Amino acid sequence: MPVPSHPTRRALLFGAVGSVALLGAGTRGPLRTGTAPRPVIPVADTAVPLDAAPVTVDLGSRTVRTWAYGDRAPGPEIRVTAGGTVSARLRNGLPQETTVHWHGVRIDPAMDGAPGLSQVPVASGDTFDYRFTAPDPGTFFYHSHVGTQLDRGMYGVLVVEDPAEPLGYDAEWTVVLDDWLDGTGTDPDTELGTIRDTPRPARTLRSRLLGGTAGHVDYPHYLINGRTPQAPEEFTDSPGRRIRLRLVNAGADTAFRVGLGDHRLTVTHTDGFPVLPVTVDALLIGMGERYDVLVTLADGVFPLVAEAEGKDARAFAVVRTSGGDAPDPSVSVPELDRRLLTLADLVADPSVDPGDAPARAVDLVLGRGRNGTGWTLGTAAARDVTPLRVPVSVGERVRLSFTNATRMWHPVHLHGHTFQVRGEEGRGPRKDTVIVRPRERVTVDVLAENPGEWMLHCHNLYHSELGMMATLGYGDTPPAAPDSSMGGMSGTG
C-alpha cells in the first residue's frame, strides 16, 4: 500500500487493477508520501460512496457546520486509471436537491451532473449512481452543480492516472485550494443575496494581475486541503526528491497566486493535459483550473503559499524535508513576485493539439445584465439568450471567442470537452477553464466530438448563479426544453 501524503484524507482506488499496481511499492509508478498513513480502499467495481450531508468539519483551527461528501472537505480523493470506470454512489442527505459534476472529464452527458439540462437533480433522500469511463489521464475534480453548494464543502479531487506515465517523479501531493465562509456566521446563499442586491460592494477587492475587480467576497478563511493557515497541512519527504503537485482551485470567488519558498515550479499540465514544460516561480490559478507542477525538494522547512489574489490574505501549507520550526503563515515568499506563469507561456504538448481549422466560429460576450445587475454570457446581439446551437457535424471544430465587456475577470468553463486555446501565433494549451480578463478576448477551438447540450459558464459561482451561464449544443440531440431557472448554475434556482 502506498504511504499517502495527507494525514486525514481518504483515497479511494478502484477501476482497473492497474491503478493499484501503479501505486504499489517497487513498481514504475510514483509513491505518495507524507506524514501518516492514509487509508486506501481498493474497491474494484465497487461504487465510491459520496454521502452528501450536513456535517461538522474541522478546518484545523476551528470547526464549522457545512455540507460535504462525508465528514470532511475536500471529499474522498478518487483515483482511477485512464480508460477505467469511475463508479460513485451519491446519497443525498441534504435538505435540498443536488448533483455531482465531473469537472473537465469528456463524459457521457447523462453523467455530467448538469441539473435541468442533462440530469434531473437528485432529490433529498434519493440516491444516484454515477458510472462513466475516464478517457484522459490528468488532474480533475468533482463538485456539486446545484445552487451555491460548491461554496460549501461539496467538492473533491479526481485523479486519472496514466498507465504509461511519461513524467519522472518520486511522489505526488494533491493540493486543493478553497475560499471558505460556510458556518462562520454566514453561508453562501446569504452571500449570493448580498452580491445580487449590492452590485457595488462597500469594499472593492482589486488585483492588477486580474485586471480589475478580483472578487466579491472577502472570505474569513482560505484553505489548503481543508486546513487554515493556523493549523496547516504539512507535506513531508526527503531532500532531492522530485514531487508532482496536483493543484486544484475549488474556490467559488478567489484566484490564487501560488509559490513555494526557495523552490521553482516546472509546469507540466494544465486542466489535466500536458504542456511543453516551463519553469516559473509562481502561477495564478482561477476557480475550476488545475495545474500540475514538478518540484525538486531542497533541504529544510518551506512555506507553500496560495495568495488570495486581490484579497490581502492567503492559504498556507508547510513542506518539510528536515527538522526545525515551521515558517510562520505570514512569512514573506519572494517567489510570489518573481517570474509568474502566463497563458502565453503554455503550449500544448504536440500529442494533444488538435490543429485543424474550425468549421464554425461563434463570438461570445461576457457582460453585465441590464441596469448593471446580474451577469450574462451570450452573443453580442443576444447577450443572455440560451441555448446556443452550433450547426457543426460531429468531428468538426468550433472556434469560440470570448470577449470580456465587464470590469472583472472570468474563468470560463465548458462542460464535456477540453479546448485548444488559440494564443499568439495560434499556439496555446489544452484547457477546459480559461481566464478572460477585462477588455481581453480569448479564442479557443473545441473539437465537437461529444454531441449533446453542454453548460458553458463562468466558474465564479456567484456569476454563474446570477446569469453568466449558457448552454452550447450540437449534433442530433434536440435542444433541452427551456428551464425557467437555467439562467443560473443550477436548474433549481
Query: Are 421 and 415 within 8 A, CB to CB?
Result: no
Closest CB 318 distance from Cu ion, rounded Å: 32
Burial of 225 (0-12, 13-18, 19+ CB in 10 A): buried
CB contact set of 385 (below 8 Å; sequence gap of 6+):
378, 379
Question: C-alpha cell of 478?
Answer: 434536440
Closest CB 246 distance from Cu ion, rounded Å: 24
Task: Write each residue from 352 to 391 as x if it is in contact with Cu ion (CB under 5 A), else as -, in one continuous string.
Answer: ----------------------------------------
Nearer to Cu ion, 61 or 204 (CB): 204
460 binds Cu ion per the rule CB under 5 A: yes
Closest CB 121 distance from Cu ion, rounded Å: 23
Q: Which of 463, 465, 467, 471 binds Cu ion (CB under 5 A)?
A: 463
Q: How many residues bind Cu ion (CB under 5 A)?
A: 4
Long-range contacts of 485-490 (CB under 8 A, 24+ apart): 485/116, 486/116, 486/117, 486/386, 487/384, 487/386, 488/147, 488/464, 489/145, 489/146, 489/147, 489/150, 489/457, 489/461, 489/464, 489/465, 490/115, 490/116, 490/121, 490/145, 490/146, 490/147, 490/465
Helix, strand, coil tally for the chain in percent (to 5): 10, 40, 50
> What is the spatial distance between Cα 101 and Cα 115, in angstroms, rounded to a whole number?
9
Nearer to Cu ion, 437 or 463 (CB): 463
> What is the spatial distance between Cα 421 and Cα 354, in angstroms, rounded to a whole number?
11
Closest CB 456 distance from Cu ion, rounded Å: 12
Nearer to Cu ion, 146 or 458 (CB): 458
Question: C-alpha cell of 459?
Answer: 466558474
Stretch that binds Cu ion, among 44-52, 61-69, 141-149, 455-463 (CB under 5 A): 455-463
Closest CB 335 distance from Cu ion, rounded Å: 28
399 binds Cu ion per the rule CB under 5 A: no
Closest CB 375 distance from Cu ion, rounded Å: 6
Closest CB 377 distance from Cu ion, rounded Å: 9
Nearer to Cu ion, 31 or 252 (CB): 252
**Touching Cu ion, residues 404-423 (CB under 5 A):** 410
Nearer to Cu ion, 455 or 458 (CB): 458
Burial of 335 (0-12, 13-18, 19+ CB in 10 A): buried
Which secondary-structure segment (H or E) carries 69?
A: strand 63-69
Instruction: Check residue 218 and report its DSSP letter.
Output: -
Nearer to Cu ion, 119 or 471 (CB): 471
Stretch that binds Cu ion, among 71-79, 119-127, 319-327, 450-458 (CB under 5 A): 450-458
458 binds Cu ion per the rule CB under 5 A: yes
Closest CB 312 distance from Cu ion, rounded Å: 21
Stretch that binds Cu ion, among 92-100, 103-111, 314-322, 403-411 (CB under 5 A): 403-411
What angle (nearest 5°) sits at the alpha carbon of residue 172, between those of residues 59 and 86?
80
Closest CB 410 distance from Cu ion, rounded Å: 3
Closest CB 408 distance from Cu ion, rounded Å: 6
> What is the spatial distance between Cα 104 and Cα 184, in angstroms, rounded to a whole number?
31
Q: Where are the beta strands (DSSP E) in 216-287?
A: 221-224, 234-236, 242-249, 256-260, 265-270, 273-280, 283-285
150 binds Cu ion per the rule CB under 5 A: no
Question: C-alpha cell of 356?
Answer: 485543424
> What is the spatial distance between Cα 159 and Cα 77, in angstroms, rounded to a whole number?
8
Query: Are 217 and 203 within 8 A, CB to CB?
Result: no
Nearer to Cu ion, 227 or 410 (CB): 410
Alpha helices in 54-205 (DSSP H): 188-197
Closest CB 444 distance from Cu ion, rounded Å: 16
Closest CB 85 distance from Cu ion, rounded Å: 34
Stretch that binds Cu ion, among 205-213, 262-270, 285-293, 454-462 (CB under 5 A): 454-462
431 binds Cu ion per the rule CB under 5 A: no
Stretch that binds Cu ion, among 258-266, 281-289, 451-459, 482-490 (CB under 5 A): 451-459
Nearer to Cu ion, 83 or 212 (CB): 212
Q: What is the DSSP string of 417-459?
A: --EEE--GGG---EESEEEE-TT-EEEEEEE--S-EEEEEEES
Nearer to Cu ion, 237 or 253 (CB): 253
The dihedral built from the CA positions of residue 226, 231, 232 and 237, taken in this order, carries a sign that is negative
Q: Please name which of 234, 288, 286, 292 lies closest in space to residue 265, comparing C-alpha atoms.
A: 292
Nearer to Cu ion, 341 or 458 (CB): 458
Nearer to Cu ion, 23 or 458 (CB): 458
Nearer to Cu ion, 22 or 414 (CB): 414
Binding residues for Cu ion, per CB under 5 A? 410, 458, 460, 463
